[in-house]
């Protein structure tokens, strides 16, 4: 698992997000090293509606529990050497698009350094910042925003 080629040529497919998370965290536990936990900052989006009423109904805990495929989870647990996947287009000109797979090289407080293992720029190191993301389809009648790294374990 120490080489990019090993992970580039392999994947595990799962039928549901819940199953994906179980497999990902099982595999993460097999990697040596310490884990680092990143928590998001979630809030309802400002709209024409009464935002004071929204803040009473939609607590931080409620927003933190929302999971959907378009945005990362509230809590991301990572280790150096873990394979990750981009959930947002960062720079399409250099093929840093949704679905690009990378390996975590260094974990900072506000930025993650990773090495690309798929696409046209394999082997290139990139820096991934935290981003504000609003899911287009969340299944809810309101919009919320999550500030988190645009990645998931892969």
From first CA to last CA, the distance across the chain in angstroms is 13
pLDDT of residue 126: 94
Identify the bridge partners of residue 39 per DSSP, sorted by sequence position. Answer: 75
Decide if 68 contacts 79 (C-beta within 8 A). Answer: no
Query: Using H for helix, E for strand and C for coil, what is the string for the chain?
Result: CCCHHHHHCCCCCCCCHHHHHHHHHHHHHHCCCCCEEEECEEEECCCCCCHHHHHHHCCHHHHHCCCCCCCCCCEEEECCCCEEEECCCCEHHHCECCCCEEEEEEECCCEEEEEECCCCCCCCEEEEECEEECCCCCCCCCCEEEEECCEEEC
pLDDT of residue 48: 47
pLDDT of residue 77: 93
Token digits for 108? 């900072």
Which contacts (CB < 8 Å, 24+ apart) does range 112-116 have? 112/78, 112/84, 112/149, 112/151, 114/84, 115/4
Domain boundaries, the chain: 4-153
* pLDDT per residue rounded down to tens, the chain (154 residues): 555 566 666 777 778 778 888 888 888 888 888 999 999 998 887 764 555 556 667 788 888 888 877 789 999 999 999 999 999 998 887 888 998 999 999 999 999 999 998 888 888 999 999 999 888 766 677 788 899 999 998 8
- pTM equals 0.82
């Amino acid at each position: 698992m120490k080489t990019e080629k090993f992970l580039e040529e392999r994947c595990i497919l799962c039928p549901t997000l819940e199953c994906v998370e179980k497999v990902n965290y099982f595999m993460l536990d097999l990697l040596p090293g310490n884990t680092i936990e990143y928590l998001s900052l979630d809030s309802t989006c400002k709209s024409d509606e009464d935002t004071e009423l929204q803040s009473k109904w939609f607590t931080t805990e409620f927003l933190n529990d929302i999971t959907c495929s378009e945005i990362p989870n509230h809590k991301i647990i990572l280790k150096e050497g873990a394979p990750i996947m981009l959930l947002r287009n960062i720079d399409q000109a250099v093929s840093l698009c949704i679905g690009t797979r990378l390996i975590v090289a260094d974990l900072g407080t506000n930025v993650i350094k990773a090495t690309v293992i798929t696409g046209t720029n394999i082997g290139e190191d990139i820096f991934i910042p935290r981003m504000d993301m609003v899911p287009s389809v969340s299944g809810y009648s309101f919009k919320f925003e999550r500030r988190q790294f645009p990645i998931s374990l892969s």
